[in-house]
């Protein structure tokens, strides 16, 4: 066997670099963490060519003395652990005094730094970790680090780099992540000379979220809840603003960004039956736990996390988000396209609402745009303001209500053809089982009088309430009401026995699937029986269906079972309930009596849980008086 040799510090640094410095984005992450640790209130990141050739981070933090500047690049040099007790911080913060040494070993670095008490700053240059130049320099308080030619001396690593666009995109995510973790710091990010992100650094997470996620995520719902020893704060998108991917889901545990299937599952559980298939909520959630409740992988470059009590964490996030969603009205505004500016108008008169032109990988708002956006949001009526106004006006306003007769809710009429009578009494709001006390489900004020105006296109109910008009999709509303009614009934769904059982021929595998799942079908109100070749005999169907729709529903159920997440009985049951509700609900284009429509409108306006059809389409959209006045140029 060969003789054991001790690795040179340079080789040791290269090995460490392999772990810490994977790509430009990981360099940026480390430098940003250092800037924040140095107490900076303003941090600017600039990159060229995806960060491979040039990457600069400038902060106005505490800076370094000349000696510290030199030592900072030594391996295991850190100012953040002074005593043995501080070692505990390693588990939470990942200080290992390794990052600068690792970055320096695989790049060329220029450092400029000054502490507030020093008259002069220090300028240092390093190549592959060795100091090549050192001098005094005039510079502002704080630190600027330029990293050039990353991996110039490790061609093997260079080969793993993706295109500049991809690497630049990852750097952008790293900056976004820090901006969301530290709303108190103003971050700017410039990519090839163009500013693509800037946050105001005013300490408001909401402000940071809007700057990072842009206006596409809409007005988000604020989450703030406590659960046992856990605290959850942050913002989540409303179901109607769901995104095509999970890209805008950001989780922090005790301030560290983490990736966790558990947290994603808990978040998405809160959106069950409210969001379309293939759509995902956006979020920025900060979970705070006692240090002993998590096992953070101490590796600074990794973001996995293990919770000791997974159920409590799941519940904390699930119910915290659910509570936030239930408190937030979700009646999207009718969208008008911005009026095009008259041809002769000077460019400066472009509508303020036009989206900024960006050829970027993500859409963001800069701090100024955010301010405009935030003040526009402020004008929007808040539920609490509405509630206060409502209490004040409720009683006498009712008396002076014009067309009061139409507000009176008559008994629903039974229509001879299919549609099921709409439930007399509002079904109870879907209350999650074992719902924790912490969550107050707020309801929208129901005492602002409203007026049924009419129906549009045999599909949309038009209602006026105060300074808002609502358009209610009658099918979506009825479907949701039926769905909630079916769901609230945890036992079997009441069924009707057919006088003449219906034979129904279908694909052989559908017959087999349905027969295999008879107990599920029974819970849903179906009784079926084998009836010769590829045929089922339908003996009982749910109360709310007629024969023709029952066979349709069975076909869909077979399809659901075929695609269904077999293990999750609740999900299958929900899927089946969607199908039953959808088939039984009145359809767009059908003739409906005014009484039926009134009854639907009444339920939609009085129950905040009726926001989306079970597939996630909105039930009700808002057309405000203000918006109309704007369209007619009255305001």
Chain positions contacting Mg ion, by CB under 5 A? 34, 99
Q: Which two tokens stand for residue 430?
A: 């879907």
Number of neighbouring beta carbons within 10 Å of residue 560: 20
Footprint (CB under 6 A) of ligand ADP, residues 116-155: 143
Q: Is 59 in the site for ligand ADP (CB under 6 A)?
A: yes
Q: Is 100 in the site for ligand ADP (CB under 6 A)?
A: yes
Q: Is 248 in the site for ligand ADP (CB under 6 A)?
A: no
Q: Are the CB atoms for 101 and 57 separated by under 8 Å? A: no
Q: Quote the least distance from Cβ 140 to Mg ion, whole Å.
A: 21
Q: Quote the least distance from Cβ 271 to ligand ADP, whole Å.
A: 38
Q: Quote the least distance from Cβ 60 to ligand ADP, whole Å.
A: 10
Say how far apart CA 205 and CA 370 lie, in whole Å. 12
Q: Give 89's DSSP letter.
A: H
Q: Quote the least distance from Cβ 33 to Mg ion, whole Å.
A: 5
Pick from 28, 45, 55, 62: which binds ligand ADP (CB under 6 A)? 62
* DSSP-based three-state secondary structure for 253: strand
Dihedral (Cα; 360, 366, 372, 377), 10-degree rounding: 70
Q: Is 13 in the site for ligand ADP (CB under 6 A)?
A: no
- Please work out the total of residues on this chain that contact ligand ADP, with binding judged by CB under 6 A: 22
Q: Give 176's DSSP letter.
A: H
Say how far apart CA 169 and CA 178 lie, in whole Å. 15
Q: Are the CB atoms for 129 and 104 separated by under 8 Å? A: yes
Pick from 7, 80, 192, 507: which binds ligand ADP (CB under 6 A)? 80
Q: Quote the least distance from Cβ 238 to ligand ADP, whole Å.
A: 38
Q: Which two tokens stand for residue 283?
A: 């979020």
| Number of DSSP helices (H) and strands (E) in the chain, helices first | 19, 22
- Please provide the size of the chain in residues: 635
Number of neighbouring beta carbons within 10 Å of residue 67: 9
Matching residue, tokens 């670099």: 17
Q: Is 112 in the site for ligand ADP (CB under 6 A)?
A: no
Q: Quote the least distance from Cβ 379 to ligand ADP, whole Å.
A: 41
Q: Quote the least distance from Cβ 94 to Mg ion, whole Å.
A: 8
Strands 54-59, 108-114: pairing is unpaired
Quick one: which segment of 93-101, 206-214, 354-362, 545-553 binds ligand ADP (CB under 6 A)?
93-101
Q: Is 107 in the site for ligand ADP (CB under 6 A)?
A: no
Say how far apart CA 86 and CA 132 lie, in whole Å. 33
Quick one: which segment of 57-65, 171-179, 250-258, 519-527 binds ligand ADP (CB under 6 A)?
57-65
Q: Quote the least distance from Cβ 444 to Mg ion, whole Å.
A: 48
Closest among 507, 498, 468 to 620, alpha carbons compared: 468
Q: Quote the least distance from Cβ 180 to ligand ADP, whole Å.
A: 20
The residues with which 309 forms a beta bridge, in sequence order, are none
Pick from 65, 79, 231, 443: which binds ligand ADP (CB under 6 A)? 79
* DSSP-based three-state secondary structure for 156: helix
Burial 75-100 (b: 16+ CB within 10 A, else e): beebeebeeeeeeeebeebbbbbbbb
Q: Is 97 in the site for ligand ADP (CB under 6 A)?
A: yes
Say how far apart CA 162 and CA 168 lie, in whole Å. 10
Q: Which of 127, 594 has the CB closer to ligand ADP?
A: 127
Closest among 43, 27, 48, 190 to 103, alpha carbons compared: 27
| Burial of 437 from C-beta contacts in 10 A (0-12 / 13-18 / 19+) | exposed
Pick from 26, 29, 30, 58: which binds ligand ADP (CB under 6 A)? 30
- Contacted by 584, from ligand ADP, Mg ion, none: CB < 5 to 8 Å by type: none
Q: Is 98 in the site for ligand ADP (CB under 6 A)?
A: yes
Q: Which of 64, 275 has the CB closer to ligand ADP?
A: 64
Q: Which of 34, 579 has the CB closer to ligand ADP?
A: 34
Q: Which of 74, 409 has the CB closer to ligand ADP?
A: 74
Quick one: which segment of 90-98, 218-226, 285-293, 486-494 binds ligand ADP (CB under 6 A)?
90-98
Pick from 16, 99, 220, 511: which binds ligand ADP (CB under 6 A)? 99
| Burial of 69 from C-beta contacts in 10 A (0-12 / 13-18 / 19+) | buried
- Contacted by 315, from Mg ion, ligand ADP, none: CB < 5 to 8 Å by type: none
- Contacted by 328, from Mg ion, ligand ADP, none: CB < 5 to 8 Å by type: none
Q: Which of 62, 99 has the CB closer to Mg ion?
A: 99
Q: Which of 34, 540 has the CB closer to Mg ion?
A: 34
- Contacted by 62, from Mg ion, ligand ADP, none: CB < 5 to 8 Å by type: ligand ADP
Q: Which of 60, 551 has the CB closer to ligand ADP?
A: 60
Quick one: which segment of 95-103, 160-168, 403-411, 421-429 binds ligand ADP (CB under 6 A)?
95-103
Q: Is 42 in the site for ligand ADP (CB under 6 A)?
A: no
Matching residue, tokens 């559980």: 269
Closest among 452, 423, 459 to 584, alpha carbons compared: 423
Say how far apart CA 125 and CA 108 lie, in whole Å. 7
Binding site for ligand ADP (CB under 6 A): 30, 34-35, 38, 59, 61-64, 72, 77-80, 95-101, 143
């Amino acid at each position: 066997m060969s003789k054991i040799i001790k690795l040179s510090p340079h080789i040791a640094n290269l090995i460490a670099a392999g772990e810490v410095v994977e790509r430009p984005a990981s360099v940026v992450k480390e430098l940003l963490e250092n800037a924040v640790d140095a107490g900076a209130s303003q941090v600017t990141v600039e990159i060229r060519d995806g960060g491979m050739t040039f990457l600069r981070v400038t902060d106005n933090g505490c800076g370094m003395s000349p000696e510290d500047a030199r030592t900072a690049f030594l391996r295991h040099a850190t100012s953040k652990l002074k005593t043995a007790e501080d070692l505990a911080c390693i588990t939470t913060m990942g200080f290992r005094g390794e990052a600068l040494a690792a970055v320096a070993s695989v790049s060329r670095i220029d450092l400029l730094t000054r502490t507030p008490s020093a008259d002069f700053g220090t300028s240092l240059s390093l190549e592959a970790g060795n100091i090549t130049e050192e001098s005094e320099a005039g510079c502002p308080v704080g630190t600027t680090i330029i990293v050039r030619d990353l991996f110039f001396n490790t061609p093997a690593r260079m080969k793993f780099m993706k295109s500049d666009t991809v690497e630049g995109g990852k750097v952008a995510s790293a900056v976004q992540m820090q901006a969301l973790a530290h709303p108190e710091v103003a971050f700017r990010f410039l990519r090839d000379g163009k500013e693509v992100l800037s946050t105001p650094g005013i300490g408001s997470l909401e402000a940071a979220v809007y700057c990072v996620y842009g206006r596409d995520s809409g007005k988000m719902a604020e989450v703030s809840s406590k659960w046992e020893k856990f605290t959850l704060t942050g913002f989540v998108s409303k179901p109607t603003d769901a995104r095509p991917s999970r890209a805008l889901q950001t989780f922090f545990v005790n301030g560290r960004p983490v990736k966790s299937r558990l947290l994603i599952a808990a978040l998405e559980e809160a959106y069950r039956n409210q969001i379309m298939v293939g759509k995902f909520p956006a979020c920025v959630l900060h979970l705070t736990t006692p240090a002993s409740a998590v096992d953070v992988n101490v590796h600074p470059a990794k973001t996995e996390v293990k919770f000791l009590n997974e159920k409590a964490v799941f519940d904390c996030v699930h119910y915290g988000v659910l509570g936030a969603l239930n408190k937030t009205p979700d009646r999207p505004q009718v969208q008008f396209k911005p009026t095009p500016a008259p041809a002769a108008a000077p460019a400066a008169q472009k509508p303020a609402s036009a989206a900024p032109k960006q050829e970027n990988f993500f859409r963001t708002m800069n701090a100024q745009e955010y301010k405009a956006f935030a003040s526009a949001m402020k004008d929007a009526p808040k539920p609490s303001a509405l509630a206060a106004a409502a209490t004040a006006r409720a009683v006498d306003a009712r008396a002076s209500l014009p067309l009061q007769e139409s507000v009176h809710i008559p008994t629903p009429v039974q229509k001879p053809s299919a549609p099921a009578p709409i439930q007399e009494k509002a079904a109870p709001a879907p209350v999650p089982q074992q719902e924790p006390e912490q969550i107050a489900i707020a309801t929208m004020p129901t005492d602002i009088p409203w007026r049924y105006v009419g129906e549009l296109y045999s599909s949309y109910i038009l209602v006026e309430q105060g300074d808002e008009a609502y358009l209610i999709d009658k099918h979506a509303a009825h479907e949701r009401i039926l769905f909630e009614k079916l769901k609230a009934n945890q036992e079997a769904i009441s069924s009707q026995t057919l006088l003449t059982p219906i034979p129904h021929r279908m694909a052989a595998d559908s017959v087999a699937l349905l027969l295999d799942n008879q107990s599920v079908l029974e819970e849903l109100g179906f009784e079926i029986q084998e009836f010769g070749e590829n045929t089922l005999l339908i003996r009982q169907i749910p109360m709310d269906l007629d024969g023709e729709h029952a066979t349709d529903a069975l076909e869909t159920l077979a399809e659901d079972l075929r695609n269904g997440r077999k293990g999750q009985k609740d999900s299958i049951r929900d899927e089946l309930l969607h199908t039953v509700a959808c088939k039984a609900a009145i359809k767009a284009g059908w003739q409906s009596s005014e009484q039926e429509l009134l009854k639907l409108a009444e339920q939609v306006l009085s129950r905040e849980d009726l926001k989306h059809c079970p597939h996630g389409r909105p039930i009700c959209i808002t057309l405000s008086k203000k918006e109309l006045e704007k369209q007619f140029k009255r305001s």
